[in-house]
Every structure is written in structure tokens, then in C-alpha cells.
Amino acid sequence: MALYSARKGFNVGLTVGGINLNRGFHIVAGPCSVESAEQMDAAAAVLADHGVRILRGGAFKPRTSPYSFQGLAERGLELLARTAHRHGMISVSEVMDTESVELVSSSVDILQVGARNMQNFSLLRRLGKQPKPVLLKRGMSSTIEEFLLAAEYVLQGNDKVILCERGVRSFETLTRNMLDLAGVALLRRMSHLPVVVDLSHSTGRPDIIPELARACVALGAEGIMFEVHHDPQSALSDGDQAMLLDAAAAMIDDLAPWIELRERLERSASPAAHPAV
């Protein structure tokens, strides 16, 4: 497969808001859905205080049931952008359809394509025609090859694509999805795009996120994403998988020495240790 994204010299550094996502280890965190100014502020204050620079929050929510909370739409985007700005962070939010690309693109720093839309080719093509980076989530039943080819649709017009592994459907019931860490290793060999691992939607449970976060650091992933809430029981979506703010803060602190170790090892490693496929 002649991947556009694997061409030599292509996309040497995806920089957004002064952050180079191809270098270092980045944390994307925030609530599943934007619910209120207070909720966003509570999350952002703790996250920013612990060095998190990318705030997430859904304003257009792809829900399995049409009777579930669908998001605050434009008002949600405003709350997210305002909160991120106030705390010196950049923002990421999902865009669900071609009609809202302009609105989302003018409101937030990074546009997320959800798992359910990974092969919405008209949306992907449209995102190639706007300038903001796109965080593309892997479809829940998609192969790595299909994932990379979906990224190609955006890359034909916009070289700023971030790949996000978020788990695939499996027979397991104790986790929400099956986190494919082999797929993450493969994605990093097959493309030059930053790879971020969504630990909330892949596991569906906050208790095992800290050890998986360490695995992502060791694996060489460019970052992780997870959901937080100041009061998960009152969350309007995905409360079961949200980390409490204290737990998130402790995890971020505990992760710091692992990230430092990786950076030290990377500085001393020879480039030949990581050949491209």
C-alpha cells in the first residue's frame, strides 16, 4: 500500500497552538460532553494545573439512542473554546457531518471525527478542504489498513491528521472495547502521523487507565486521551468511564517519570532501532 502519509519528508511535524504533536507525549483530556461552564471550568482548572494542554469536550454527540443527550451544539463549542482559552489550552471537539464543518472549524483548534464516522467519505473529503488539524478515530470494526486509507482522504487536502486508536469491538464484556496496542505499534511504523490512544472509550472503565497510560508511554505513542468529570454520576454521557479529577491529577503526576525516562531513552537511541515498514 503506497501510503501518502508514509512518504519520506511528509508531515515532519504537526504543530497546533505551538504544540508539536510529532514530538513528546501529549495528554488530551476533558469531559465526554460539554454540559455547563462550571463543569468545563472544574475539569480545565485541574488539568491545566497538571500540564495538560489539550482540552476535549463533545458538543455534537453521536449517541446510540436518539433519546440520549445529543450535546449543546453551538453553545457547547463556545463553552469549550472559552474554557480552553481561559486556561491556556487548545480545544478538540467532534464534527459529525459536512454541514457543521465550518462552524466547528471556526470554533475549536482540532476537529475530531468519531469512530462511527471513520468511513464517512464525504465528511473526510470536506475536512481536507479546511485548515484545522483532524483527529481521526478508528472505526470500531475497522482494520488498520481501512483506518489509514480513511486518513488518506483527509490527507489529500490537509496534511494535519492525528490518528486515534479507541478500541475495537470484541467478545469481551468487562471492557467496553478491545484496545489494540499492536495496532498502535503498526500505525506508528506505517505512517508518520501522530498516534493518540483513547483510553476511555477503549476500556469503558477508569480503574485500568493508569497502567494502560504507562503502556502507551513505553510503546512510543504520541499521546493519550481520556475523559474526566468532577461528578461522574451526574454526567450526561459516559459517566461510567470518566475519571474523577483527583484520580486524573494523580495519574498525570505518576506518569511524569515514565515520560522522562522515555525521552532520555529516545535521546540516546539510534534511529536504526525504529525502521519504517
**String of contacts with Mn ion for each residue 11-40, x by CB under 5 A:** ---------------------x--------
Contact at 8 Å (CB) between 191 and 10?
Answer: no
Interacting partner of 114 out of Mn ion, ligand PEP, none (Cβ under 5 to 8 A depending on kind): ligand PEP
Kindly report the three-state secondary structure assignment for every residue of 67-105.
CCCCCCHHHHHHHHHHHHHHCCCEEEEECCCHHHHHHHH
Distance CA 217, CA 224 (A): 9
Within 237-256, the residues that bind Mn ion by CB under 5 A are 238
Smallest distance from the beta carbon of 76 to ligand PEP, in angstroms? Answer: 12
CA atoms within 13 A on the CB side of 83: 30
Q: Please identify, using beta-carbon distances, which residue of 165 and 238 lies nearer to Mn ion.
A: 238
- What's the min distance (Å) between Cβ of 30 and Mn ion? 10
Give the nearest distance from C-beta 114 to ligand PEP in angstroms: 3
Instruction: Report the first-to-last Cα separation within the chain, whole angstroms.
Output: 11
Is there binding between residue 113 and Mn ion (CB under 5 A)? no
Q: What is the pattern of x (binds Mn ion, CB under 5 A) and - over residues 136-155?
A: --------------------
Angle at 224 between CA 138 and CA 232, to 5 degrees: 95
The site for ligand PEP (CB under 6 A) is made up of 32, 58, 62, 94, 114-116, 137, 166, 198, 201
Name the residue number minimizing CB distance to ligand PEP: 114
Q: Are 65 and 85 in contact (CB under 8 A)?
A: no
Contacts with Mn ion, residue ranges (CB under 5 A): 32, 238
